[in-house]
């Protein structure tokens, strides 16, 4: 029986500019990059469409599978196995990347040969972060995040230390507490892109920003305290709507301090990755 295995990589944000809301969604300039933490999905043709041992209500993977099958008038279902490694509600887009991996996997399983542009059009129906995970290592995601400008920058991969507290944060709640300051971050974004082009890590560290920091730290005093503590000894940034924090090219003494001090958190050594 034909099986397809697809890796669903997580992301971090190097820049997240959040502007006014429109139709109940905020306009964004969101610079995202793939990192080497991934879920693994296995797809096999079946009579029904289901996920083995699925315990998630309203599962985005199942939505993606049904959307694909309906779109291309496929007369069979699919059995999906998920090996989950990306932490949930972490600001790493674990659900979005799984949904995109489902579209990519079924495209291969059923030999549809749909283009990336077609898959991105489908992905938009599943969530604003989902289109990024169709064929991008690095991209500027605009409008609500679903308009993708793939960036073919030959950046040098860099190491990351991720720290995720055991609690999650609601993206909806974070955005509800956000107030736009009307200050353009276009210069910072320009500097980040220049730093990636030049492989200038110090310049990159100086310009990374996330407009959701303020509402996230308003909601979670615990995360705010962790952030401020680590900031005394290292660069540290928030990914997405949190609560995952990340450090670029961490020094050994910083890694040791974090592992000793925050041993109740999930800590991951990883790196950025180029796969497309």
Instruction: Indicate the burial class of 50 (C-beta count within 10 angstroms; 0-12, 13-18, 19 or more).
Output: middle
- Given this model, what pLDDT does residue 22 score? 76
Element (H, E) at 7: strand 3-22
Kindly list the catalytic residues: 11, 129
CA atoms within 13 A on the CB side of 46: 16
Render pLDDT for 18-70 as a digit per residue (tens, 0 to 9): 998 877 789 999 999 999 999 999 999 999 999 998 766 679 999 999 999 99
Half-sphere exposure of residue 116: CA atoms within 13 angstroms, side-chain side: 10
As a CATH number, domain 159-271 is: 3.30.70.890
At 83 the pLDDT is 94
Q: Would you state the pLDDT for residue 89? A: 87
**Distance, CA of 203 to CA of 201 (rounded, Å):** 5
All CATH 3.30.70.890 domain ranges in the chain, comma separated: 159-271
Rg (alpha carbons) of the chain, rounded to whole number: 19
Give percent of the chain above pLDDT 70: 98
Of the candidate CATH numbers 3.40.1800.10, 2.60.40.2310, 3.40.630.20, 3.30.230.10, the domain formed by 3-150 belongs to: 3.30.230.10
User: What pLDDT shows up at residue 57?
Assistant: 62
**Where exactly does CATH 3.30.230.10 map onto the chain?**
3-150
> What pLDDT score does 6 carry?
97
The predicted pLDDT at position 137 comes to: 97
Q: List the chain residues with pLDDT less than 70.
A: 1, 55-57
What integer pLDDT is reported at residue 21 of this predicted model? 82
How many other C-beta atoms are found inside a 10 Å radius of the C-beta of residue 37? 24
**What pLDDT score was predicted for residue 66?**
96
pLDDT tens digits along 70-97? 999 999 999 999 999 999 889 999 999 9
């Amino acid at each position: 029986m034909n099986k397809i295995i697809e890796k669903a990589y997580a992301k971090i944000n190097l820049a997240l500019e959040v502007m006014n809301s429109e139709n109940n969604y905020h306009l964004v300039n969101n610079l995202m990059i793939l990192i080497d933490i991934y879920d693994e999905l296995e797809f096999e043709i079946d009579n029904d469409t289901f996920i083995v041992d699925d315990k998630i209500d309203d599962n985005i993977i199942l939505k993606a599978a049904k959307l694909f099958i309906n779109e291309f008038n496929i007369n069979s279902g699919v059995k999906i196995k998920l090996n989950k490694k990306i932490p949930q509600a972490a600001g790493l887009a674990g659900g979005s990347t799984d949904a995109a991996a489902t579209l990519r996997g079924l495209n291969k399983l059923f030999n549809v040969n749909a283009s990336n542009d077609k898959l991105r059009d489908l992905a938009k129906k599943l969530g604003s972060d989902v289109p990024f995970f169709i064929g991008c290592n690095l991209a500027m995601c605009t409008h609500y995040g679903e308009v993708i400008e793939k960036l073919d920058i030959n950046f040098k991969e860099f190491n990351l230390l991720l720290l995720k507290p055991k609690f999650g944060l609601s993206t909806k709640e974070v955005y509800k507490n956000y107030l736009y300051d009307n200050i353009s971050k276009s210069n910072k974004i320009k500097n980040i892109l220049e730093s990636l082009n030049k492989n200038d890590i110090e310049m990159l560290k100086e310009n990374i920003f996330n407009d959701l920091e303020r509402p996230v730290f308003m909601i979670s005093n615990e995360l705010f305290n962790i952030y401020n503590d680590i900031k005394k000894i290292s660069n540290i940034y928030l990914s997405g709507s949190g609560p995952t924090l990340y450090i670029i090219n961490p020094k050994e003494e910083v890694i040791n301090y974090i592992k000793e001090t925050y041993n109740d958190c999930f800590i991951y050594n990883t790196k950025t990755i180029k796969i497309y």
